[in-house]
A and B are shown apart, each in its own frame.
Chain A
Amino acid sequence: MRDRLRHEMEEIFRNVFGDQQLVLRDDMTANDVEGWDSLAHINLMIAVEKRFGVRFATAEISRLKGDGQTVGRLLDLVEQKKRA
């Protein structure tokens, strides 16, 4: 389940950041992904919402790019929202 989610998320990241070699790990932060600026972050949020049919709250959108946030946390949140 988690692996499949990560795989789908990887597809999204590759599209949004235009890097077909990108490999996603749970401990990655925004600093580890080239081009993950505030503009790309919005594009990422839009793509994730659309792909998984979830909706982030305003605060979540800001928090997901904050210090100490990881790809793992993003996956958790999506998982949790998909279950709800």
Chain B
Amino acid sequence: MQSSTSLTAVAEVFLCAAEAQKQEKLAALLRDLRSALAIGRYDDVAALLKRVALPTLDYTTAQGLHRARNELRGKVLSSPQRIRLAVTGSFTTKQLVPLIDLYLFAAGVDAEVFEGDYGLFRQDILDPRSDLYNFAPQVIFLATGWRDLAHRPVLSHAPFEVANVIAAEQSDWCRLWQLAHQETGCQIIQNNFVLPACRPLANHEMRQSGSLSRYIASMNESLAVAAPPFVTIHDVEHLAACWGRWKWDDPRFVHQAKLPCSPECLPDYAHSIASIIAAQLGLAKKCLVLDLDNTLWGGVVGDDGWGGIRLGQTDPEGEAFMAFQQYAKSLRHRGVLLAVCSKNDENNAREVFEKHSEMVLRLDDIACFMANWDDKATNLRRIAQELNIGTNSLVFVDDNPAERALVRQLLPEVAVPEMPSDVADYIQAIDRHRYFQTLSIESEDLRRTEYYRADAIRRDAQTSAAGIEEFLVSLDMVAQIGPVTNDTLSRSAQLIQRSNQFNLTTRRRTPAELAAMLQDESWITRTVTLSDRFGDNGLISVILARVCPDALEIDTWVMSCRVLKRTVQQFVLNHFCDLVRQRGLGRIRGEYIPTAKNGLVREHYASLGFAPVAGADGERTLWDLVITDSWQEATTYIRKETNA
């Protein structure tokens, strides 16, 4: 076994193995992995690790895979995404940290990790000269548990006394966050608190305001409400509940090694943390691509007709398909795009959506509908192109193992979860991967499919308009441009994290870093919102610029690809030229750092009339635009709305 194809095949066998055979297939996989390492096939090993590092791994296997990951350090091209992660808390993180590193690696992130000493998180944060701060983390994970709650109510407390305890506890945590944030400007991941399985007050535990469980539940709510944008609450309580509290706890390892939970839960725990960090770096998935026959309904519509498929409340399996559609719909409501990729006659496929009364998903839930007889890899590429997202933002769900294997082979960057044979298990099979993790949910997420659908209508208008200029005029576009505010901070950070194509420098700013810039007079921050006669496009561009004595330097310029070719860039440029004139800065400097994805904006500055400047290192290019009195405004079809 020495070719890369056989390594991939081994991975495929492991992924598809029945539960009873997993251990045996795994032993084979580890053997092949070691021999591949021994002869220096590092890239193949990296690809294999990325494929098999699933949240469902058992603890020992996950540690074994991490050892292989360690051997790859410095030997494979490091991924473009790097993160300096500090973990400090009150339990032993020695077992958890390698697993977080493994899952980050699988997500395409090279992590450099600092581990605080056991139990010293308060000292680490309170001491401005601590090792934690010397490390200069970009993310701090506060690995704490309920034993760290410093104030505790007693059972005899009246409700108002308990409320005071909660307020005191809340302000302690807020103070810690503020301090850590002031020192580092970094994003903080804060554990909430797991409710204990054991309840001295039995059935009345939650009714008694001074009980431990009730207090922990109240604290969880209170921290969730109090957390500022630079704090992400990690819902470890939900994790424990999903595992089952008796199973989650293993007191032997708490007493023995201060583990936070039973060892078998640690991989899932680590995956949960890693998914949040990956989301911060813009690596979360954006689109769920669904097959139709035997994925969204039972049976084959081409053979059975839309009246003959199994879907609906008359039969248990039909009900399970409905439940799965409901799950997809709930994802769409929070901003995940849905697409269809099916080998079907398009009319037959659409007919089900239009005519079947128990279809939960409707055509207007689907941002891109691909039903034809081409191979699925080709169709997935088309879907990504149509939605203006990368193929690595896709999750592909198909009941057919052959289609899954084909896509895994031809498009390894697409996430392809192994699907169980029973539709009742579909939801869990997808959900446990945390594909659509996010730092925060913004109101714009909740409207995303509407935006994309409006785009489709605009495209139709485009084909009917005589020329592009006429089309742009007919759109009747109005934009607001103004500084990032507390209200737009999360959404701005999110756009910076998620934009890959229209992103000149791909510097991923966190909400924390952005918040710091708002206080800093040497930074000019701008957001652009755009509306037109088809509707509101929302906040579609963010620009961060540094004021230098002789120029305005554009550090970050991102834009949603939905509004490409709408002259937003020209509109923004005109705004900045006005600024430069007012402040007498003389010129604007731009920078382009190429990545695998942002070829789209290679000529961005050239197209806006900037001149290239010598002195850039590597692939990076620098640009310069002198703003003289005779400088002509760039042509834009966007009017400015002035209240920002």
Which residues of A pack against B, CB within 8 Å?
Answer: 15-16, 18, 20, 38-39, 42-43, 46-47, 50, 56-58, 61-62
Collect the chain B residues with CB atoms within 8 Å of residue A61's CB. 252, 256
B253 with A42: CB separation less than 8 A: yes
Cα–Cα distance between A62 and B263 once the two chains are bound (Å): 17
B59-97 residues with Cβ-Cβ distance < 8 A to A are 59-60, 63-64, 67, 94-95
Name 11 A/B residue pairs within 8 A (Cβ), A-sorted. Answer: A15-B30, A18-B67, A38-B257, A42-B263, A50-B58, A50-B264, A57-B252, A58-B252, A58-B256, A61-B252, A62-B256
B255 with A58: CB separation less than 8 A: yes
Closest to B254 in A: A58
Closest to B256 in A: A61
7 cross-chain pairs, A with B, having the tightest CB-CB distances, nearest first: A47-B60, A46-B263, A58-B252, A42-B257, A18-B67, A61-B256, A39-B94
Collect the chain B residues with CB atoms within 8 Å of residue A47's CB. 59-60
State the majority secondary structure of interface residues on A.
helix
A16 with B60: CB separation less than 8 A: yes
Collect the chain A residues with CB atoms within 8 Å of residue B58's CB. 50
B95 with A43: CB separation less than 8 A: yes
B157 within 8 A of A: no
Known: A39-B95, A62-B256. 8 other contacts (CB 8 A): A16-B60, A18-B67, A39-B94, A42-B257, A43-B60, A43-B63, A50-B59, A58-B256
Collect the chain B residues with CB atoms within 8 Å of residue A62's CB. 256
Determine how close the nearest CB of chain B comes to the CB of A59; give it in whole angstroms. Answer: 10
Cα–Cα distance between A33 and B59 once the two chains are bound (Å): 21
B640 within 8 A of A: no
Cα–Cα distance between A56 and B67 once the two chains are bound (Å): 26
Determine how close the nearest CB of chain B comes to the CB of A63; give it in whole angstroms. Answer: 11
Collect the chain B residues with CB atoms within 8 Å of residue A56's CB. 252
Cα–Cα distance between A42 and B263 once the two chains are bound (Å): 9
Determine how close the nearest CB of chain A comes to the CB of B275; give it in whole angstroms. Answer: 23
Determine how close the nearest CB of chain B comes to the CB of A34; give it in whole angstroms. Answer: 14
B34 within 8 A of A: yes
State the majority secondary structure of interface residues on B.
helix
Collect the chain A residues with CB atoms within 8 Å of residue B256's CB. 42, 58, 61-62
Closest to A49 in B: B263
Q: Which residue of B30, B34, B60, B67 is within 8 Å of A46 (Cβ)?
A: B60
* Total contacts A-B at CB 8 Å: 37
B6-62 residues with Cβ-Cβ distance < 8 A to A are 30, 34, 58-60
Cα–Cα distance between A50 and B57 once the two chains are bound (Å): 13
Collect the chain A residues with CB atoms within 8 Å of residue B263's CB. 42, 46
Interface centre among A38, A46, A47, by most B CB within 10 Å? A46
Collect the chain A residues with CB atoms within 8 Å of residue B67's CB. 18
Cα–Cα distance between A18 and B263 once the two chains are bound (Å): 19
Collect the chain A residues with CB atoms within 8 Å of residue B94's CB. 39
Closest to B262 in A: A46
Determine how close the nearest CB of chain A comes to the CB of B54; give it in whole angstroms. Answer: 17
Determine how close the nearest CB of chain B comes to the CB of A58; give it in whole angstroms. Answer: 5
Collect the chain A residues with CB atoms within 8 Å of residue B251's CB. 58
Collect the chain B residues with CB atoms within 8 Å of residue A50's CB. 58-60, 264
Closest to B58 in A: A50
Determine how close the nearest CB of chain B comes to the CB of A26; give it in whole angstroms. Answer: 23
Collect the chain B residues with CB atoms within 8 Å of residue A39's CB. 94-95
Cα–Cα distance between A75 and B251 once the two chains are bound (Å): 24
Closest to A51 in B: B60
Determine how close the nearest CB of chain A comes to the CB of B218; give it in whole angstroms. Answer: 32
A15 with B64: CB separation less than 8 A: yes
Closest to B253 in A: A42
Cα–Cα distance between A58 and B258 once the two chains are bound (Å): 12
Collect the chain A residues with CB atoms within 8 Å of residue B59's CB. 46-47, 50
Determine how close the nearest CB of chain B comes to the CB of A80; give it in whole angstroms. Answer: 18
B594-624 residues with Cβ-Cβ distance < 8 A to A are none
Q: Which residue of A16, A20, A42 is within 8 Å of B34 (Cβ)?
A: A20
B252 with A42: CB separation less than 8 A: no
Closest to A62 in B: B256
Collect the chain B residues with CB atoms within 8 Å of residue A18's CB. 67
Collect the chain A residues with CB atoms within 8 Å of residue B257's CB. 38, 42
Determine how close the nearest CB of chain A comes to the CB of B26; give it in whole angstroms. Answer: 10
Collect the chain B residues with CB atoms within 8 Å of residue A15's CB. 30, 60, 64
Collect the chain B residues with CB atoms within 8 Å of residue A57's CB. 252
Cα–Cα distance between A20 and B67 once the two chains are bound (Å): 13
Collect the chain A residues with CB atoms within 8 Å of residue B264's CB. 50
Determine how close the nearest CB of chain B comes to the CB of A42; give it in whole angstroms. Answer: 5
B494-528 residues with Cβ-Cβ distance < 8 A to A are none
Determine how close the nearest CB of chain B comes to the CB of A64; give it in whole angstroms. Answer: 11
Determine how close the nearest CB of chain A comes to the CB of B506; give it in whole angstroms. Answer: 36
Closest to B257 in A: A42
Determine how close the nearest CB of chain A comes to the CB of B588; give it in whole angstroms. Answer: 54
Cα–Cα distance between A36 and B94 once the two chains are bound (Å): 15
Interface centre among B30, B34, B63, by most A CB within 10 Å? B63
Interface centre among B58, B95, B263, B264, by most A CB within 10 Å? B263
B233-260 residues with Cβ-Cβ distance < 8 A to A are 251-253, 255-257, 259
Determine how close the nearest CB of chain B comes to the CB of A55; give it in whole angstroms. Answer: 8
Collect the chain A residues with CB atoms within 8 Å of residue B253's CB. 42
Determine how close the nearest CB of chain A comes to the CB of B28; give it in whole angstroms. Answer: 13
Determine how close the nearest CB of chain A comes to the CB of B253; give it in whole angstroms. Answer: 7
Cα–Cα distance between A70 and B598 once the two chains are bound (Å): 59
Determine how close the nearest CB of chain A comes to the CB of B107; give it in whole angstroms. Answer: 24
Closest to B34 in A: A20
Determine how close the nearest CB of chain B comes to the CB of A60; give it in whole angstroms. Answer: 9
Collect the chain B residues with CB atoms within 8 Å of residue A16's CB. 60, 63
B60 with A42: CB separation less than 8 A: no
Cα–Cα distance between A47 and B60 once the two chains are bound (Å): 6
Cα–Cα distance between A72 and B212 once the two chains are bound (Å): 45
Cα–Cα distance between A47 and B64 once the two chains are bound (Å): 11
Determine how close the nearest CB of chain B comes to the CB of A21; give it in whole angstroms. Answer: 12
Determine how close the nearest CB of chain A comes to the CB of B478; give it in whole angstroms. Answer: 61
Cα–Cα distance between A58 and B264 once the two chains are bound (Å): 17
Closest to A42 in B: B257
Cα–Cα distance between A39 and B253 once the two chains are bound (Å): 12
Cα–Cα distance between A43 and B34 once the two chains are bound (Å): 20
Cα–Cα distance between A18 and B264 once the two chains are bound (Å): 20
Collect the chain A residues with CB atoms within 8 Å of residue B252's CB. 56-58, 61
Cα–Cα distance between A16 and B67 once the two chains are bound (Å): 9
Collect the chain B residues with CB atoms within 8 Å of residue A38's CB. 257
Collect the chain B residues with CB atoms within 8 Å of residue A20's CB. 34
Closest to B38 in A: A20
